[in-house]
Chains A and B, each alone.
Chain A
Amino acid sequence: MEKRAIFDNKLLPYALLLPQILITLVFFYWPASQAVWQSFLIEDAFGTSSEFVWLDNYRDLLSKPDYYASMLTTAWFSAVVTFLAMAIALLLASMANKQISGRNAYRTLLVWPYAVAPALAGVLWLFMLQPSLGVLSKLLRANGVDWNPLLNSNHALIMVVLAATWKQISYNFLFFLAGLQAIPRSVIEAAAIDGARPMRRFWTIIFPLLSPTTFYLLVVNIVYVFFETFGIIDAMTSGGPARTTTTLVYKVYQDGKLGGDLGGSAAQSVILMAIVIGLTAIQFRFVERRVNY
């Protein structure tokens, strides 16, 4: 059924792959191997002395309760942001897929936040939620809510979740919209003729047919929350109050860049890399089974 091109030249496919392989080697394997190597060393910040210590950095790291706290924060944070960003995007995409006037304008506006850099998204939300200057926080305080993300860890978490979700909705929206448009109208119309109401049509036909998109977005969103929310956290809370918004990637930065502990920081990035690879593998192994292509 599929057309297969046959190459006589055995080298040609490798030559065609070469640029991609080179890029992967230079931008992924090489830095990753450096991180692994660094994680076995103890060095001062200037690199004037370094000692090979095998797994000491890992042992130190895993003996600290801080590290497990960051893991929990990350797990919680990624679950909430991924769920919210995907659910809201799906809702919006379903709406924008309907025959409404001005839908192109809605679509364009909904995509805009994607163009905003994470750190800027953080600052934008901070303008609204900063306890003494923010517009929203003034409103909250006027209504008797003692809004104080500087000290109240729930408030701080709500704040970063809002910004991180808002930023990711656009991306998810684009994919969901494309996914929805790819669903043949005839299937939906057939269901409508059989008497299925909109909600039923959505859950039994549209949602399963969207599952490849949903699955793809699940993987991408989790990776997003793990790594790209760094800018948002740095701009909004710097990991505070009392470490409650310190995610794993933020801790890598704190220890490595602010603390000058390159070995410990490298050990954390190696563990982080392992976690993300593991998560993605699990998703492909188990979640993908339930995806209908």
Chain B
Amino acid sequence: MKNSMLIAFMTAAAAFAATPANAQTEIQWWHAMTGANNDVVVRLANDFNASQQDYKVVPVFKGSYADTMNAGIAAYRSGNAPHILQVFEVGTATMMAAKGAVKPVQDVMKDAGETFDPKIYLPAITGYYSTTKGEMLSFPFNSSSMVMWVNRDLLKKAGLNADQPPKTWPEVFEAAAKLKTVSPTCGFSTAWTTWANIEQLSAWHNVPLGTRSNGMDGFDTELKINGPLQVRHLAKLAELQKDKTFDYSGRTNASEGRFTSGECGLFLTSSAFYGNVKANAKFDYAAAPMPYYPDVQGAPQNSIIGGASLWVLGGKTPAEYKGVAKFFTFLSDTDRQAKLHQDSGYLPITKAAYEKTKASGFYKDKPALEVPLLELTNKEPTENSKGLRFGNMVQMRDVWSEEIEAALAGKKTAKEALDAAVERGNQMLRQFEKTAAR
């Protein structure tokens, strides 16, 4: 009796001693989320901080994805790196190459003694951020995929069946020609031109982007984006650009407003565009899977993700890593993932969260949010559709875009443009290999 009193007293004293703020281990989390997504980040940190006493996650907004990554790199070089850095998917190869500068998530979890089962995560998502052996390198945070947004009102106005939006590319071209009669400046368009017309196109048709499993098996990869499928697609786009059946919308998502304003009736962009569409589209809309060429064998395969993941940087103390691990366990919680997915429109990263959302009937009201998940899980990912890992990917996309622009402007044929993209891209890959492989 006396003993248990003593223990209770001591526990209370220990709890009391741990309360002051300075006893908490601070975890810096640098991110690039703006607007509603910034609120999500702040709320997650607050919830985590309220759920326990030992660690305090401090989210810091650092600007665009590229700015955040560069801020993290610069901070690492000067010895003030954050613990958690949000990096966009195309920065994956750069982060991976920095051995010692990053600590794989799998190791963080194992060293901290957290229960960690990579199998609970959706392979289509974690595969992008894992080694070929399946070791998880970074923790997926906000993931999305590409879908085709459909303006149902405009389709009806053009005399098309809005309940059956075009499924294949030939159907899209046909529908776009009709849409052009009601909106002469744009039949259909895509944001993120390389993500849509090269990366997703290739994965969706099970066609390689590069050797060595799209670079996931090693930095000695070479590009293959000048294959018949990619050339055929670009040639068609260039042909349709002439009369604006297809109209180019730039390299990023800056022109997504062309869908919400009602200009483009069919528009391929990220599924994370959902929040924007919901808030701004004054018409009946829907999301449909990406179109495919029916004569390509095996199409459609599965789509790949975009978005960002959380990297743990090196050189921190075990206590700090333990806090990071606890935070990741907190993020993986089924209820939390399900809610995060339903609130933000980003994809859930665990299978359980997806199942739970499905069971709750959520997708009946909001079918648009399930489309990217159906695409991602359409088939078991192959080495062409698991993802991609090319060094210098940020600039690589610029190079590809430049060549696509040259083809669309009629300065080069599709084949010439993609050949040049491969040649210039390979130079960049060799440059990256030189800096990374040592």
Query: Interface of A with B (CB < 8 Å)?
Result: 42-49, 51, 60, 64, 66, 132-133, 141, 148, 150-153, 238-243, 254-255, 257-261, 264
Structural contact, B401 and A240, CB atoms closer than 8 A: yes
A243 to B403, CA, bound (A): 9
A150 to B401, CA, bound (A): 11
Q: Which residues of B contact A49 (CB under 8 A)?
A: 435, 438
Does chain A have a CB within 8 A of B316? no
* Shortest CB distance A53–B (Å): 9
A153 to B186, CA, bound (A): 20
Does chain A have a CB within 8 A of B249? yes
A and B contact pairs by CB, cutoff 8 A, 23 listed = A44-B97, A44-B98, A46-B73, A46-B76, A46-B77, A46-B98, A47-B76, A48-B98, A48-B100, A51-B438, A150-B248, A152-B409, A153-B409, A240-B251, A240-B405, A241-B402, A257-B70, A258-B394, A259-B395, A259-B428, A260-B392, A261-B392, A261-B435
A51 to B76, CA, bound (A): 19
Q: Which residues of B contact A66 (CB under 8 A)?
A: 424
A141 to B247, CA, bound (A): 14
Structural contact, A260 and B94, CB atoms closer than 8 A: yes
Question: Given contacts A42-B435, A151-B241, are A241 and B405 in contact (CB under 8 A)?
Answer: yes
Question: Given contacts A258-B398, A260-B392, are A238 and B70 in contact (CB under 8 A)?
Answer: no
Does chain A have a CB within 8 A of B218? no
A153 to B409, CA, bound (A): 9
A258 to B69, CA, bound (A): 10
A239 to B94, CA, bound (A): 23
* Shortest CB distance B419–A (Å): 15
Type the 1/0 row for B395-408, where 1 means its CB is closer than 8 Å to any CB of A. Answer: 10010011101101
* Shortest CB distance A214–B (Å): 38
- Contact with B395, one of A133, A150, A153, A258 (Cβ below 8 angstroms): A258
- Contact with A258, one of B66, B101, B185 (Cβ below 8 angstroms): B66
Does chain A have a CB within 8 A of B157? no
Type the 1/0 row for B61-104, where 1 means its CB is closer than 8 Å to any CB of A. Answer: 00000100010010011000000000000000010011111000
Structural contact, B94 and A45, CB atoms closer than 8 A: yes
A141 to B66, CA, bound (A): 34
Question: Given contacts A43-B435, A254-B395, are A243 and B251 in contact (CB under 8 A)?
Answer: no
Known pairs A44-B436, A48-B100, A148-B248 / 11 extra A-B pairs, C-beta < 8 Å: A44-B97, A44-B98, A45-B73, A45-B98, A48-B98, A132-B185, A150-B248, A153-B409, A238-B251, A241-B402, A258-B395
Question: Given contacts A242-B403, A257-B70, are A42 and B395 in contact (CB under 8 A)?
Answer: no
Q: Which residues of B contact A254 (CB under 8 A)?
A: 395, 398
Instruction: Give chain B's interface secondary structure class.
Output: helix
A51 to B436, CA, bound (A): 11
Write the chain A residue with the least CB distance to B72.
A46
* Shortest CB distance A267–B (Å): 13
Q: Which residues of A contact B411 (CB under 8 A)?
A: 242
Instruction: Give chain A's interface secondary structure class.
Output: loop
Write the chain A residue with the least CB distance to B412.
A242
* Shortest CB distance B251–A (Å): 7
Write the chain A residue with the least CB distance to B313.
A46
Counting from the closest, the 4 A-B pairs by CB-CB distance are: A46-B101, A259-B395, A241-B405, A46-B98
Type the 1/0 row for B371-410, where 1 means its CB is closer than 8 Å to any CB of A. Answer: 0000000000000000000001011001001110110110
Structural contact, B395 and A241, CB atoms closer than 8 A: no
A241 to B407, CA, bound (A): 11
Does chain A have a CB within 8 A of B336? no
Question: Given contacts A46-B101, A48-B99, are A132 and B435 in contact (CB under 8 A)?
Answer: no
Structural contact, B435 and A44, CB atoms closer than 8 A: yes
Which one of B408, B428, B431 has the highest number of Cβ atoms from chain A below 10 Å of its Cβ?
B431
* Shortest CB distance B399–A (Å): 9
Does chain A have a CB within 8 A of B250? yes
Write the chain A residue with the least CB distance to B434.
A42
Does chain A have a CB within 8 A of B227? no
Structural contact, A47 and B94, CB atoms closer than 8 A: no
Q: Which residues of A contact B436 (CB under 8 A)?
A: 44
Structural contact, B94 and A257, CB atoms closer than 8 A: no
A42 to B434, CA, bound (A): 8
Type the 1/0 row for B229-259, where 1 means its CB is closer than 8 Å to any CB of A. Answer: 0000000000001000000111100010110
Does chain A have a CB within 8 A of B222? no
Type the 1/0 row for B405-438, where 1 means its CB is closer than 8 Å to any CB of A. Answer: 1101101000000000000100110010011101
